[in-house]
């Protein structure tokens, strides 16, 4: 892999990741762009202890452009985009970020009832391919491996930012999920705090370690392997399963068989294996119904600065599709109280996904 760094017209960073190490990059972003918004604040919800980002500038972000106007395709003569030339994989700073380095805000006391702090962090876009009409699941293993290498590279760099506490690569797929750019891509959020679900993971992991002396996620994996009913697929280095208490009608977790904190800890063999088994899982998901499955694929990594020994890199992929013609809406119980009700038995979902192997 070869990484080439460039600077966009408004000063944002862009990184090309190429399979061909002899690849040279010379294209320049010649657009006239306004400065990236820096007035981003985060406010503390004193009733829950959760931070909420306030990002009014994102109201004007790009919304469902035509294919000809896609900002994630490579630039063409007379049609400049975010990316000056054809590419294998590209990562760049989001033009409409939820967090940004050097964020500005009128700070108030962080321990008061109306605490406000700057939204210091970073948001990046990960373009999996310059082919607008494909998907991650249709990539070759070599192309998927390049994306994995990009995730590891960016995790290493973003973890060095002083204000960053957690690095979260993810992909939103499908209009049903709320995707507004159809080009195959994901994002990476480098949060200036531990987000709520990760904080819950760490509370459980600390309690489990205190009680047993073991890693919670390693025990989850061991328990699923011992039970066997919810296992979907296994490989030399990874195991995919539907979790015991799945909240979503389609929910798949994918764990490395060896505990690592984040993508940077994976060996070359493990990265190759991950590319193959992840494509296998995505293929099964797309064969569930007559249309591509909408999903959110989130890669859970250990926090950057604390509790790293309690973390365990893994994928949590969920879909709101509960049947061929029905979606699961997060209504009163889920949205208001966070109490999930799943209409699909995890064991039945796992059996269906095992049947969909090629």
> Angle CA(216)–CA(253)–CA(308) in degrees, nearest 5?
40
Residue 20, token pair as written in the block: 């061909």
The pLDDT, as a whole number, for residue 107 is 82
- Prediction pTM value: 0.97
Residue 17, token pair as written in the block: 């990741």
Backbone angles phi, psi at 142, to 5 degrees: -65, -40
With beta carbons less than 8 A apart as the criterion, state whether 174 and 293 touch.
yes
Kindly state the DSSP code that residue 24 receives in the 8-state scheme.
-
Residue 27 pLDDT > 90: no
> Angle CA(314)–CA(229)–CA(345) in degrees, nearest 5?
85
With beta carbons less than 8 A apart as the criterion, state whether 215 and 310 touch.
yes
User: Does residue 45 come out as left (phi exceeding 0), alpha (psi in the -120 to 50 range) or beta?
Assistant: beta
Residue 132, token pair as written in the block: 């607008």
Residue 112 pLDDT > 80: no
The pLDDT, as a whole number, for residue 109 is 75
Distance between CA 149 and CA 190 in Å, rounded?
17
User: How do residues 188-197 score in pLDDT, each as one tens digit?
Assistant: 999 999 999 9
Kindly list the strands in the beta sheet with 116-118, ordered across the sheet, starting from the edge strand earlier in the chain. 50-54, 41-45, 116-118
Element holding 29 (H helix, E strand): none
With beta carbons less than 8 A apart as the criterion, state whether 19 and 88 touch.
yes
Distance of CA 294 to the CA centre of its chain: 14
**250-269 mean pLDDT:** 98
Element holding 345 (H helix, E strand): none
**312-330 mean pLDDT:** 96
Distance between CA 152 and CA 149 in Å, rounded?
5
Residue 119 half-sphere exposure toward CB, CA atoms < 13 A:
20
The pLDDT, as a whole number, for residue 122 is 98
Q: Which residues pair with 16 in a beta bridge?
A: 4, 90
Distance between CA 216 and CA 300 in Å, rounded?
14
**225-238 mean pLDDT:** 98
Percent of the chain with pLDDT over 90: 94
The pLDDT, as a whole number, for residue 343 is 95
Tokens 């190759």 belong to residue: 272
End-to-end C-alpha distance for the chain, whole angstroms:
30
Backbone angles phi, psi at 175, to 5 degrees: -60, -30
> Angle CA(264)–CA(319)–CA(227) in degrees, nearest 5?
70
Distance between CA 326 and CA 336 in Å, rounded?
21
DSSP 192-229: SS--HHHHHHHHHHHHHHHHHSS-HHHHHHHHHHHH-T
The pLDDT, as a whole number, for residue 106 is 82
| Ordered structural domains, the chain, with CATH | 2-193 (3.30.428.10), 197-355 (3.30.428.10)
- Enzyme catalytic residues: 185
């Amino acid at each position: 892999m070869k990484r080439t760094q460039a600077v966009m017209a408004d000063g944002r960073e862009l990184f090309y990741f190429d399979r061909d190490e002899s690849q040279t990059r010379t294209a320049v972003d010649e657009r006239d762009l306004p400065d990236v918004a820096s007035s981003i604040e985060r406010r503390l919800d004193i009733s829950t202890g959760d931070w909420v980002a306030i990002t009014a500038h994102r109201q004007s972000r790009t919304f469902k452009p035509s294919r000809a106007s896609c900002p994630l395709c490579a630039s063409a003569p007379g049609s400049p985009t975010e990316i000056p030339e054809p590419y294998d994989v590209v990562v760049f700073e989001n033009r409409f970020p939820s967090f940004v380095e050097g964020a500005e805000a009128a700070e108030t006391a962080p321990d008061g009832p109306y605490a406000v702090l700057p939204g210091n962090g970073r948001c990046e876009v990960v373009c999996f391919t310059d082919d607008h009409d494909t998907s991650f699941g249709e990539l070759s293993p070599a192309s998927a491996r390049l994306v994995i290498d990009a995730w590891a590279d960016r995790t290493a760099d973003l973890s060095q930012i002083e204000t960053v506490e957690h690095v979260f690569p993810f992909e939103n797929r499908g209009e049903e999920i709320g995707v507004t750019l159809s080009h195959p891509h994901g994002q990476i959020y480098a949060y200036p705090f531990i987000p709520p679900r990760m904080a819950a993971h760490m509370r459980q992991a600390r309690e489990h370690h205190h009680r047993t002396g073991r890693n919670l996620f390693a025990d989850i994996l061991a328990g699923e392997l011992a039970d066997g009913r919810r296992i979907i697929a296994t490989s030399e280095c990874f195991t995919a399963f539907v979790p015991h208490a799945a909240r979503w009608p389609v929910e798949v977790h994918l764990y490395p068989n060896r505990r690592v904190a984040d993508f940077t800890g994976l060996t070359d063999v493990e990265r190759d294996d991950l590319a193959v088994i992840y494509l296998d899982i995505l293929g099964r998901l797309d064969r569930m119904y007559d249309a591509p499955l909408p999903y959110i694929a989130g890669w859970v990594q250990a926090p950057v600065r604390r509790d790293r020994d309690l973390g365990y890199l893994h994928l949590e992929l969920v879909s709101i599709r509960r049947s061929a013609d029905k979606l699961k809406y997060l209504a009163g119980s889920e949205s208001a109280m966070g109490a999930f009700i799943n209409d699909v038995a995890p064991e039945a979902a796992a059996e269906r996904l095992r049947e969909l192997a090629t």
